[in-house]
Amino acid sequence: MDDKSKLAAIAVAMSAIMFGSLGIPIRYFQQDCGLPPLDSVVIRMSVSATGLLIIIMLFARDQLKVRLKDVPLLALFGGFKLLSDLTLFNAQNNITLCLATLLQMTAPYFVMIFSMFLFKEKLTLKKMIAMAVGSVGCVLVTGILFGEVDANTEGVISAILSGLFFGMFFIGNRVAVDRDIRPGTTLFYTTVFADLIALPFINHADVLDAVIDQKGAVMALSLGILMTLIPYYLITWSSLHLEPAISSMISTLEVGAAAVVGYVVFRDVLTVSHVIGIVLVLSSIIVVNAKIRTEYIKRYGKYISPLHKFRLKAFGRDEDV
């Protein structure tokens, strides 16, 4: 492994830890401040959109241009992004952070299934085995097999739905590439549309009260910048210098980070069956996610996520794409 690959591996690990720490500001806003999940989503989207707008205005103003015919698509997948965050935040408030993160990471399963119909990709034996192993792991993690399911069926369902909606958002990025929508345009406008869809339904006074003091402001910036924009940047930069399989394996640290945060900060509890289930699901996700990225490379020549394409464009490095 060369120096860039090592740095890329560190970047993936750092991004996974940041994503895995989402539960800290989310539970602060929802449990300490009493905000519902939708209000927390708006805080994340608003801060992220503002940060992204500043970057675009400084480095790539042409990314703000959007074709009228693409607006409905961007609004649709912005809605999927909103639903993904909404269900994840609801899950993190009802079940352990580790379980919520793990079940959302089943998004590649949904991507694989939908890709069969949208992109005519084949369902191979390897994928089927990976999905079967992952399904067994999910059963163990949720505790259904041993009758350990508590009152938080809502949390489990929310986390699984988050994986579904995040998978749809991922597919939206692929559709955008096929329609030649610029990556920066896709990222910015899906975030903005997600924010606009949610704004009419939140309590604006409560949100303002939650972020107006010093601790609330730090939590809001952490949620929108430290645990959103920065890890997105790190993981997308690393995609140029790291094999998909290795990246997939390292990114599973997100579950470990969520487990540590849950145990140390919130005293979440994990049983033996949970741990076994986590291992099975993560093994399955590594296989499925690496397969998806490999097929993406075959389709487009190189796996470069939308945010990294935007970064290259912003700094005038289109030749690297």
Q: Which of these ranges, 56-70, 219-233, 300-314, has the smallest mean pLDDT?
A: 300-314
Please compute the mean of the pLDDT values over residues 198-221 and round it to a whole number. 96
Number of domains in the chain: 1
Residue 148: the pLDDT is: 56
* Per-residue model confidence as pLDDT tens digits over 178-191: 788 877 788 889 99
The pLDDT score that the predictor gives to residue 248 is 66
* Angle between helices 37-59 and 214-221 in degrees, nearest 10: 70
Q: For the chain, what is the HEC assignment?
A: CCHHHHHHHHHHHHHHHHHHCCHHHHHHHHHHCCCCHHHHHHHHHHHHHHHHHHHHHHHCHHHHCCCHHHHHHHHHHHHHHHHHHHHHHHHHCCCCHHHHHHHHCCHHHHHHHHHHHHCCCCCCHHHHHHHHHHHHHHHHHHCHHHCCCCCCHHHHHHHHHHHHHHHHHHHHHHHHHHCCCCHHHHHHHHHHHHHHHHHHHCCHHHHHHHHHCHHHHHHHHHHHHHHHHHHHHHHHHHCCCCCHHHHHHHHCHHHHHHHHHHHHHHCCCCCHHHHHHHHHHHHHHHHHHHHHHHHHHHHHCCCCCHHHHHHHHHCCCHHHC
What pLDDT does residue 303 have? 47
pTM, rounded to two decimals: 0.80
22 vs 248: CA distance, rounded Å: 19
pLDDT given for residue 297 in this prediction: 55
Supply the range of the domain harboring residue 268. Answer: 3-320
Q: Mean pLDDT across the chain, nearest whole number?
A: 81
Query: Which among 136-140, 149-153, 258-262 has the top mean pLDDT?
Result: 258-262
What are the pLDDT digits (tens) for 92-123?
999 888 888 888 888 877 877 887 777 777 77
- 42: nearest Cα among 205, 279, 275: 205
- Residue 34 φ/ψ region, left for φ over 0, alpha for ψ in the -120 to 50 degree band, beta for the rest: left
> Which range among 109-113, 156-160, 285-289 has the greatest average pLDDT?
156-160
Angle at 105 between CA 278 and CA 216, to 5 degrees: 105
| Percentage of the chain exceeding pLDDT 70 | 80
Confidence at residue 149, expressed as pLDDT on a 0 to 100 scale: 54
Q: Which of 150, 262, 136 is CA-nearest to residue 270? A: 262
